[in-house]
Amino acid sequence: MERSSSRRDDDHSESDGKQTKESGEIESIERIFESKEVPKWQNQLTVRAFVCSFVLGIMFTFIVMKLNLTTGIIPSLNVSAGLLGFFFVKTWTKFLNKSGLLKQPFTRQENTVIQTCVVATSGIAFSGGFGSYLFGMSEVIAKQSNEVNASENIKNPSLTWLIGFLFVVSFLGLFSVVPLRKIMIIDFKLIYPSGTATAHLINSFHTPQGAKLAKRQVRTLGKFFTFSFLWGLFQWFFTAGDGCGFSSFPSLGLKAYEHKFYFDFSATYVGVGMICPYLINVSLLVGAIISWGLMWPLIDLRKGDWYPADLGAGSLHGIQGYRVFIGIAMILGDGLYNFFKVLGHTFFGLYRQVKEKNSEADIPVSRNSSPQLPSISYDDQRRTQLFLKDQIPMWIAIVGYLVIAALSIITLPHIFHPLRWYHIAVIYLLAPTLAFCNAYGCGLTDWSLASTYGKLAIFIVGAWAGGEHGGVLAGLAACGVMMNIVSTASDLMQDFKTGYMTLASPRSMFVSQMIGTGMGCIISPCVFWLFYKAFDLGTPGSEYPAPYALIYRNMAILGVEGFAAFPKHCLALCYGFFGAAIVINGIRDLVGKKKAKYIPIPMAMAIPFYIGGYFAIDMCVGSLILFVWSKVNKAKAAAFGPAVASGLICGDGIWTLPSSILALVGVRPPICMKFLSRSANVSVDKFLGS
């Protein structure tokens, strides 16, 4: 699943059904703001906006990085970014206003700039691959795999090349879709559910009633932020060794704990569970029960027959191979199904748009156009007029794309020696088309298939380079290039939709996205480097196991070497689960939305196959809290549920910063709290007594 949404999982995001569509507005939003002058695009880009974005960007990067390196499920932080951006700047301007020093009021356009910049900054922590393809290149992850020519396929992290790599690949997607903004937003009228929901949120903040609610939401967020931070601090005192602390509490019994079933008291994943739809959380739990509750115990009984009994727990030729490869099979089956599904939506939508274009009223195509627009609402007329006012010149997009592509073709082979210039050139020739497909599909369905495109690049470039010429490393690097392009393209188009609905200039959106991306290219590697130096990253059973790093590396190995690494009968099981993922998705689409909400999502089911079910239990607890709250007071749960969830996630995520610093300076927790069975406790007592 990787990226949850309103970015509800990079491969399989689902709209949560709570987002209000633009066409469903009861009253005219723009008539409420009619008396307020829209600032020029230069005035929407304020120093205070980028200072606020920088601070929030660091906060959210820590959160995303922690999630990347634990389970890989990343919820939408758009609501938190909008809320906190509104609160910080509103508080600052209120203080200046009382002092008589306020020169420029806080507008919804500036709020949109902040939200865009923050999401662009923290988005690099995901698309940068710190928990997947980039860390999958490291020696730590390579030791857990079993491929030949390992030295040619290893690239250990270094702060300098991480920053350099991100700077040459992260901006290309922005330039690739700039010429398409009018087609996507005005001509095709794509919904972009996440961008639309964010726009409604920001618009509501800047009405008198919405501002009062926003203050109460931020107050609630602050309370749970403080609780979550202090809870993280409290837990730290009991984690002096491996397997110590509340996170190792066998809440469902020691036998269940051995099979990864326990509640680990993580405020982060309780919060994530409150944001993710119920179906995602239930699917995770179902996957955990199928794998750790049924399959792995049964396969473990075949030890000595299906695989050698003397293999280590982490060997891919043993039970670990079943966990990893069957999970990969389900991820690929789900990803390919949705790839072709969204591609079909895209081509059908394009065909329908072109077919109906002649029969529809013409939409203005340049700032000089002034047709009558009687068939659309006042809001659409106002938004269209301003959206087309500040054009981004086509030559900027073309020149920017060509310059960055040339720099990438020159520099990337020096960073990754197995990756040749012609591999990169082919990717960049295909990238604009793929970026368009991803951005268009995301506008229709809210599904961004960035990691699916990245996985396709792994297999194609890895096989092209060949195992004897560092194909694993080349495939992982190509995955990074492709993922960054298509991910930033869909993110920018979502932001253009938000800007369209808040009257923020496309120029200010583009500049904000550029600045946010630039900040992310520095902040994300620095935050990752802090984790890398402070914690034992990538080791199974550690605090930060980085599960997707091993999964991505093994995908690259499959692309280069085929099925040689599979243990006995693993390939047949992989075929079965690959087909099952496609069949389940097909059934979900056939039965309709009402019945589909009772059928698990294969992508979500696959995640616990390798990691375990503990985080799924945490997330289901979050779902249960929200469900009960909704039954008691539905309106209050809808208004304050996201704020509570965001507070839990942010507080626990920010605790990572001081805990990292303590680890770096050698300060260890004073207590180890462990849980033993009665017989083990008797043995320990005897040993200590002797």
Query: Could you tell me which residue, 616 or 208, shows the higher pLDDT?
Result: 616
Looking at the chain, the whole-number percentage of residues with pLDDT higher than 90 is 29
pLDDT band, very low/low/confident/very high, at 422 (cuts 50, 70, 90):
very high
Taking residues 576-602, report their average pLDDT: 90
Distance, in Å, from the CA atom of 283 to the CA atom of 599, rounded to the nearest integer, reads 8
Does the pLDDT of residue 125 top 50, yes or no? yes
Query: Could you tell me which residue, 277 or 481, shows the higher pLDDT?
Result: 481
Count the residues in the chain: 690
CB 60 within 8 A of CB 128: no
Give pLDDT tens digits for 345-394. Answer: 777 777 776 776 655 544 444 334 334 444 568 888 889 988 988 888 88
As given in the structure block, the two tokens for residue 615 are 């985080």
Taking residues 545-552, report their average pLDDT: 87
Give pLDDT tens digits for 482-524. Answer: 999 988 888 889 889 999 999 999 999 999 999 999 999 999 9
pTM for this structure? 0.80
Give pLDDT tens digits for 27-48. Answer: 678 888 888 889 999 999 999 8
- Compute CA 412 distance to the chain's CA centroid, rounded to the nearest angstrom: 25
CB 553 within 8 A of CB 136: yes
Q: What is the largest CA-CA distance in the chain?
A: 94
Give pLDDT tens digits for 52-74. Answer: 999 999 999 998 898 889 877 77
As given in the structure block, the two tokens for residue 452 are 């699916």
Phi–psi pair at 672, nearest 5 degrees? -115, 115
Distance, in Å, from the CA atom of 561 to the CA atom of 559, rounded to the nearest integer, reads 6
Does the pLDDT of residue 569 top 80, yes or no? yes
| Residue 371 pLDDT | 40
pLDDT band, very low/low/confident/very high, at 560 (cuts 50, 70, 90):
confident
| Residue 565 pLDDT | 63
CB 618 within 8 A of CB 273: yes
Distance, in Å, from the CA atom of 565 to the CA atom of 260, rounded to the nearest integer, reads 25
Closest CA to 237 of 532, 537, 667, 618: 667
End-to-end CA separation in angstroms for the chain: 51
Query: Could you tell me which residue, 499 or 456, shows the higher pLDDT?
Result: 499
